[in-house]
């Protein structure tokens, strides 16, 4: 049983004159991991950032087409940006914990969304850190600065921070590119756990990673989706010559 | 063949020695300059303290000045200095920090912003006596605040505004974009992001700006005489005139009233400035406690 969580219809994105995304049509399935692959500058990160409207922060960006999450157009005027970003969380390429304590990092999201009771916050912090497989490592140092953690721990902290606001969808923009292999493995294992509850979209430069963690894969090239399919199909029998060239490492 | 290698190596050694000499000279120069700076600082502070500290006693701090400052202490003057500094910082800090937030977070690069930036730079370069004249005409006479802590505080606030704006701006610019993105991606509004992430991350820079502002306010003489007056009494309200330590030192010295009281007051002034710096550092570090890698 697979439900469409996000439906993208005829999406166009322009940076000023530059046509960065062309005719993007894709359905992202609930409780699955969808990987976006492609060479640098192909638009996959840009596309990811349209899903929680982070591109709104950049000047001269123009967007046409529709993105429906649970059937609701997120570019509709009536759509509440704060609410959207609460439901669609994001984990960035470089771990970006705030220069606060571990506890404050996790409780920041719930707090800005109005949760004040200490007991409730404690509960959220513990639950989020457990889900991000970080609880055992940090439970005795919750009031220590988050920046004192290792890179891999920081990234899992960012994942926990994102989980704390209870999103449905998690967007990950090359979440392991700044991490060592062991930390990468931990994050990848985590994805396996998380997809039971969340819909995950992950941008990655690492083909093996896409193969390991994702259920669906879309191949981006020059602002277009060249091919999208089940990951096992993309990697075993790609239909497009360009996809084949890319995944076999002939370019990119 | 052997001959050749020999020449080659000796050449290298020769060159190396030359570089070492240059480096040594640069090193000595840098040390000498650093040493000179410290000597200048210590000799000024030392000279004032040596000439002044011996006259310091409890009476000097708790007595009010008598016969124009020739006798007695400087109780009212200490109160006046602190009062005036707090008023000016109290006015300048919120305005300066808000202006810096506007300039860095909200304003787009346009003519108005360029004009504001240009204006703050000009403001920073204006001689203090001009601020004094303006304060005298505008606050003292036109607005009818007379010679008072309020007039003086407003005038000093204008003077230290550029310092606070500039250092806050620099501090805010240092906050990585990734912090802002992280906050916004959690559903925070821009304002929440500024208040809860950007400002706390730049607090040490803001505190530094305030310290510099305090330094400028407490050391100012010309603008204060023209706007806050030089009354010797203890001010009881913000509309009372007062005399700050800098003004007191200036008047005692220029009118030749008492050398020992001049140096004693100057010593208190220096010690107070050192204490403010120290305290602000402690406060700044307290804010930074959770934000730095331990």
State the CATH number of the domain containing residue B252: 1.10.3720.10
Provide mean pLDDT across the span B88-108.
92
pLDDT at residue B293 in the model: 42
Residues in chain B closer than 8 A to A89 (CB atoms): 185-186
The reply to whether residue B294 touches residue A144, judged by beta carbons under 8 angstroms, is yes
Find the helix or strand (DSSP H, E) in which B15 lies: helix B2-52
pLDDT at residue B40 in the model: 94
pLDDT at residue B290 in the model: 44
Residues B89 and B142 grouped into a single domain = yes
Q: Mean pLDDT across chain A, nearest whole number? A: 91
pLDDT at residue B241 in the model: 87
Confidence of residue B138 (pLDDT cuts 50, 70, 90): very high
User: Between the CA of residue B136 and those of A44, B145, B206, B244, B249, what are the distances in Å?
Assistant: 63, 10, 29, 17, 21
Confidence of residue B1 (pLDDT cuts 50, 70, 90): very low
Find the helix or strand (DSSP H, E) in which A219 lies: strand A216-221
The reply to whether residue B183 touches residue A98, judged by beta carbons under 8 angstroms, is yes
Residue of B nearest to A56 (CA): B184
Residues in chain B closer than 8 A to A109 (CB atoms): 186-188
- Chain A contact for B196 (CB, 8 A cutoff): yes
Residues B72 and B88 grouped into a single domain = yes
Out of A98, A112, A148, closest to residue B182 by CB: A98
**pLDDT of B291 higher than 70:** no
pLDDT at residue A144 in the model: 93
Token digits for B77?
A: 């003057």
The whole model's pTM is what? Answer: 0.79
Domain limits for position B150: 59-288
Residues B48 and B131 grouped into a single domain = no
User: Between the CA of residue B78 and those of A54, B35, B73, B87, B171, what are the distances in Å?
Assistant: 54, 33, 10, 14, 32
Residue B282 lies in a domain: yes
Which of B39, B55, B71 terminates a domain? The answer is B55
Residues B109 and B224 grouped into a single domain = yes
Q: What is the DSSP letter of A2?
A: -
Backbone phi, psi, residue A73, to 5° = -75, 120
Which of B33, B55, B77 terminates a domain? The answer is B55
**pLDDT of B286 higher than 80:** no
Residues B89 and B33 grouped into a single domain = no
Residues B75 and B96 grouped into a single domain = yes
Residue B9 lies in a domain: yes
pLDDT at residue A46 in the model: 92
The ipTM assigned to this model is: 0.89
Backbone phi, psi, residue A53, to 5° = 60, 35
Confidence of residue A252 (pLDDT cuts 50, 70, 90): low
Residue B151 lies in a domain: yes
Residues B25 and B95 grouped into a single domain = no
> Among candidates A35, A73, A3, which has minimal Cα distance to A203?
A35
Residues B12 and B76 grouped into a single domain = no
Token digits for A186?
A: 């931990």
**pLDDT tens, residue by residue, A234-246:** 999 889 999 998 8
User: Which among B185, B189, B197, B289 is the top mutation candidate for probing chain A, defined by the most A β-carbons within 10 Å of its own β-carbon?
Assistant: B185
Residue B135 lies in a domain: yes
The reply to whether residue B178 touches residue A108, judged by beta carbons under 8 angstroms, is no
Residue B133 lies in a domain: yes
Which of B55, B72, B87 terminates a domain? The answer is B55
The reply to whether residue B291 touches residue A113, judged by beta carbons under 8 angstroms, is no
Residue B13 lies in a domain: yes
The reply to whether residue B182 touches residue A158, judged by beta carbons under 8 angstroms, is yes
Q: How many domains does chain B have?
A: 2
Residues B166 and B129 grouped into a single domain = yes
- Chain A contact for B181 (CB, 8 A cutoff): yes
Provide mean pLDDT across the span B75-100.
92
Residue B294 lies in a domain: no
Residue of A nearest to B181 (CA): A54
Confidence of residue B73 (pLDDT cuts 50, 70, 90): confident
Residue B272 lies in a domain: yes
Is A43 in a helix, a strand, or coil? Answer: coil
Residues B9 and B134 grouped into a single domain = no
Residues B142 and B234 grouped into a single domain = yes
Out of B181, B188, B293, closest to residue A54 by CB: B181
- Chain A contact for B204 (CB, 8 A cutoff): no
**pLDDT tens, residue by residue, B201-252:** 888 888 888 888 888 898 888 899 999 888 888 888 888 888 899 999 999 9
pLDDT at residue A31 in the model: 92
Residue of B nearest to A54 (CA): B185
Residues B7 and B19 grouped into a single domain = yes
Out of B181, B187, B292, closest to residue A112 by CB: B187
Domains and CATH numbers, chain A: 4-247 (3.40.50.300)
């Amino acid at each position: 049983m697979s439900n469409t969580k996000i439906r993208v219809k005829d999406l166009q994105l322009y940076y000023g004159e530059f046509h960065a995304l062309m005719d993007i049509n894709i359905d992202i399935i609930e409780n699955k991991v969808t990987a976006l692959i492609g060479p640098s500058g192909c638009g996959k990160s840009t596309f990811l950032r349209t899903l929680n409207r982070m591109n709104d922060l950049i000047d001269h960006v123009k967007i046409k087409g529709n993105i429906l999450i649970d059937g609701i157009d997120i570019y509709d005027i009536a759509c509440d940006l704060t609410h959207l970003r609460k439901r669609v969380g994001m984990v960035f390429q470089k771990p970006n914990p705030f220069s606060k304590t571990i506890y404050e990092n996790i409780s920041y999201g719930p707090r800005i969304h109005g949760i004040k009771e200490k007991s409730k916050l404690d509960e959220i912090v513990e639950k989020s850190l457990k889900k991000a497989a970080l609880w055992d490592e940090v439970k005795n140092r919750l009031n220590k600065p988050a920046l004192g953690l290792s890179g891999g721990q920081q990234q899992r902290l960012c994942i926990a921070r994102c989980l704390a606001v209870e999103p449905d969808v998690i967007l990950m923009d090359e979440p392991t590119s700044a991490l060592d292999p062991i930390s990468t493995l931990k994050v990848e294992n985590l994805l396996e756990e998380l997809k039971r509850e969340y819909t995950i979209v992950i941008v990655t430069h690492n083909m093996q990673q896409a193969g390991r963690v994702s259920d669906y894969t879309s191949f981006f090239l020059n602002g277009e989706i060249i091919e999208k399919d089940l990951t096992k199909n993309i990697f075993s029998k790609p239909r497009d010559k360009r996809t084949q060239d890319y995944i076999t490492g002939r370019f990119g | 063949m052997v001959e050749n290698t020999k020449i080659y190596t000796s050449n290298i050694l020769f060159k190396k020695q030359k570089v070492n000499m240059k480096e040594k000279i640069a090193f000595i120069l840098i040390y000498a300059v650093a040493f000179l700076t410290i000597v200048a600082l210590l000799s000024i502070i030392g000279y004032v303290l040596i000439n002044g500290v011996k006259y310091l006693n409890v009476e000097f701090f708790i007595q009010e000045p008598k016969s124009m400052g020739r006798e007695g202490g400087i109780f009212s003057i200490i109160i006046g200095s602190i009062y005036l500094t707090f008023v000016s910082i109290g006015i300048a800090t919120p305005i300066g920090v808000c202006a810096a937030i506007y300039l860095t977070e909200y304003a787009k690069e346009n003519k108005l912003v360029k004009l504001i930036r240009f204006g703050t730079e000009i403001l920073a370069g204006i001689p203090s006596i001009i601020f004094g004249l303006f304060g005298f005409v505008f606050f003292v006479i036109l607005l009818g605040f007379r010679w008072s802590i309020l007039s003086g505080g407003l005038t000093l606030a204008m003077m230290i505004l550029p310092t606070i704006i500039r250092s806050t701006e620099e501090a805010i610019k240092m906050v990585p974009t990734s912090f802002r993105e992280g906050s916004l991606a959690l559903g925070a509004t821009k304002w929440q992001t500024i208040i809860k992430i950007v400002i706390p991350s730049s607090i040490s820079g803001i505190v530094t700006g305030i310290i510099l502002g305090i330094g400028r306010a407490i050391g100012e003489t010309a603008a204060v005489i023209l706007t806050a007056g030089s009354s010797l009494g203890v001010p009881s309200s913000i509309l009372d005139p007062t005399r700050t330590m800098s003004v007191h030192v200036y008047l005692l010295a220029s009118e030749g009233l008492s050398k020992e009281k001049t140096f004693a007051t100057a010593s208190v002034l220096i010690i107070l400035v050192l204490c403010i710096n120290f305290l602000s550092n402690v406060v700044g570090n307290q804010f930074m406690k959770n934000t730095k890698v331990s």
